[in-house]
Amino acid sequence: MNQNFAKLAAAAVITTSLFTSNVFAQNTSPVAEAPKAETAAPEKPKEEPAFKLTGNVQAQAIKAVYDNDADNTLDNSFLRANIGGKYNSDNFEAVINVRIFSPAFGNKNVTDVTTDDKGNVKVTKTAQDKISADTYYAKYKWNPAFGDLSVQFGRFRTDWTVAGNFGTYVDVHLSKRGFLARDYQHDAIGLGFDKGISSFSLLLGTYDNKFDTGYLRAEETLKLGDAKISAAYRVNALDPIQHTAEVTHRVAGRASYYFAKNLGLYGEVAYISTGDDENLNASNATKPEYAQGTDYLPFFVGVEIPTAGILNSLYAELEYVGDREDFAEDADELAWTVSLIKKLGKHGKIQLSAYSENEVSDVAIAARFTASIQ
């Protein structure tokens, strides 16, 4: 059953994308007579190819200001570097970013096994540097008369968050919480179509190198002056093809409206539903994204508050996740965050947030400072 559903879901998403593209490609005004060659509007100038080096050094620290039974100076911190490059032209774009952590913040407890001359085995655990391919993708772009098309492949992000603690429900699992923890990285192939106020994307993402597990994701965004509306759908359509697997449907929408610079309202809501039809004790079963037979309706609302130029941004947000105890024991269904951002000169930026952890009264403070070379 799930195999058939997966194929139907994939076909439905692709059909929807084609339908959307055709709708926005059509010109609803009467067809005008073609202008004469001598009066034709000049072509849009091509974007000059450009490459730039990108990079920054970041320091982050988190500290609970309530009694969380942890006797530490800080609850978490890191010092890391990001280095990479970006190339952009009118028909091609590519980005590579490598993330580097020192041993103190890198791979912990790496096991080394050695044997001495007498055959005695010694096991030691050490910390080592961590270097990861954070982001890398290539995007090909075309600009036909009916809209802008693109094909993208690699590892890239989607991020619906504003202050960083809440949102992106269509991608990030509800169990993941914390400071700047709600962005998501896809290993995927994506298609894009832009036309006027509309921006549509469809991607096929995978969790393994055989595409035995993975998902389809579709997103549509409309920009309406000072308002923006987005809707997205994601389904683990690849899982049931090779495995016994439950299908999880994720549907999400977000909207924002700005009355003036740095004065706006925004929010996001999602519906996440997992089936209860399969025997997950089967030998070829794969773990479901959420527990069988569960439904969740998370949402958050936020406001950006102007500060007369003192800060670059000031946000306040409130989130509700029903049955949050499914992911964290004794967790409240409500959560909040207040976050400020301030740029420091040409190369520096600091984000400082206060937010609730398990309970609304469990307050934590987090800060991230970024020093950029660009």
CA–CA separation, 174 vs 295, rounded Å?
12
Between 85-94, 122-131, 158-167, 315-324, the lowest mean confidence (pLDDT) is in: 122-131
Q: What is the mean pLDDT of residues 127-141?
A: 91
Q: Given this model, what pLDDT does residue 44 score?
A: 57
Q: For the chain, give the mean pLDDT.
A: 87
Q: Which domain holds residue 152?
A: 2-20+49-372
Contacts of 236 (CB under 8 A, 6+ apart): 213, 214, 215, 245, 247, 248, 289
Give domain status of residue 30, yes or no.
Answer: no
Mean predicted confidence (pLDDT) in 256-281:
96
Q: How many domains are contained in the chain?
A: 1
What pLDDT score was predicted for residue 120?
A: 77
DSSP SS3 for 5: helix
Per residue in 177-188, pLDDT (tens digit) is: 899 999 999 999
Please determine, for residue 1, whether its predicted confidence score (pLDDT) is greater than 90: no
Q: Is residue 26 part of a domain?
A: no
Report the percentage of the chain scoring pLDDT > 90: 74
Phi, psi angle pair for 309, to nearest 5°: 85, 0
If you average pLDDT over residues 218-224, what whole number do you get? 98
CA 190 to chain CA centroid, Å, is 14
In whole angstroms, give the CA distance from residue 13 to residue 234: 9
Which CATH number do you get for residue 334? 2.40.160.10
Query: At residue 72, does pLDDT exceed 80?
Result: yes
For residue 6, pLDDT over 50 is answered with no
Confirm whether 119 is domain-assigned. Answer: yes
Categorize the per-residue pLDDT at 235 as very low, low, confident or very high, splitting at 50, 70 and 90: very high
pLDDT of residue 122: 76
Q: How far apart are CA 356 and CA 179, in angstroms?
A: 10
Q: Is residue 46 very low, low, confident or very high in pLDDT (cuts 50, 70, 90)? A: low
Q: What percentage of the chain exceeds 70 in pLDDT?
A: 86
Residue 27 placed within a domain: no
pLDDT score recorded for residue 299: 97
Residue 40 lies in a domain: no
pLDDT score of 113 more than 80: no
What tens digit of pLDDT does each residue of 329-372 get?
889 999 999 999 999 999 999 999 999 999 999 999 999 999 99
Note the pLDDT of residue 65: 94
**Backbone dihedral region for residue 225 (phi beyond 0: left; psi -120 to 50: alpha; all else: beta):** left
Give residue 146's pLDDT.
94
Q: Does residue 37 form part of some domain?
A: no
- Read off the pLDDT of residues 284-341 as tens digits, 9 standing for 90 and up: 999 999 999 999 999 999 999 999 999 999 999 999 999 999 998 889 999 999 999 9
pLDDT of residue 109: 65
Q: Does residue 270 belong to any structural domain of this protein?
A: yes
pTM above 0.75, yes or no: yes
374 contacts: CB under 8 Å, gap ≥ 6? 52, 53, 54, 55
Is residue 39 included in any domain, yes or no?
Answer: no
